[in-house]
Amino acid sequence: AQPLCEIGHLLGFRTVVIDDRWAFANRERFPHATDIRVGAFEETLNSLDINEHSYVVVVTRGHVWDETSVKAVLRRNPAYVGMIGSKRRAKTTLERLGEQGYSPAELSRIHTPLGLDIAAETPAEIAVAIAAELIRARRGGSLETLSLSVKARPSGPFKFTGN
């Protein structure tokens, strides 16, 4: 969450950090956050003005809080809802939400696992992948590369002749 908050700040997002623990949600850890709130996830999220202009990224310490947080914001129609987690955990959570009455259309709005697939491994790289997905959602971008050389590559194997 720390690198994502910093990148979000650089990208012009109003970043609000929420955690139920003072030791993790504080100005020392998140100097670039617009706002820091400490409290129960559902209650704190419900206190925010989340609307069609909001981008919500859920990166809590456990799937119970992830699910609670997604449920607190999904029907408020934010522009983006993303939830971190493995593919297995994401699938399980989506299935559970479906069983609780969330429609396929609502579930399709949840970006999980979140981030673009750039083979990110470190927290900073994962933050870049998430930020890239946020930019794509905000600007309506595609998943295509901008690289002309990549686009010009033949679809078959390369055949080299000569030296």
Condensed to tens digits (0 to 9), the pLDDT of residues 108-151 reads 999 999 999 999 999 999 999 999 999 999 999 988 877 676 56
How much is the pLDDT for 154?
64
User: Strand 80-83 and strand 35-38: pairing?
Assistant: unpaired
How much is the pLDDT for 62?
86
**Residue 70 pLDDT greater than 50, yes or no:** yes
pLDDT (tens digit, 9 = 90+) per residue, 54-63? 999 999 988 8
Longest dimension (CA), the chain: 69
C-alpha dist (Å) from residue 70 to 53, 105, 152: 16, 14, 41
User: Strand 110-111 and strand 55-58: pairing?
Assistant: unpaired
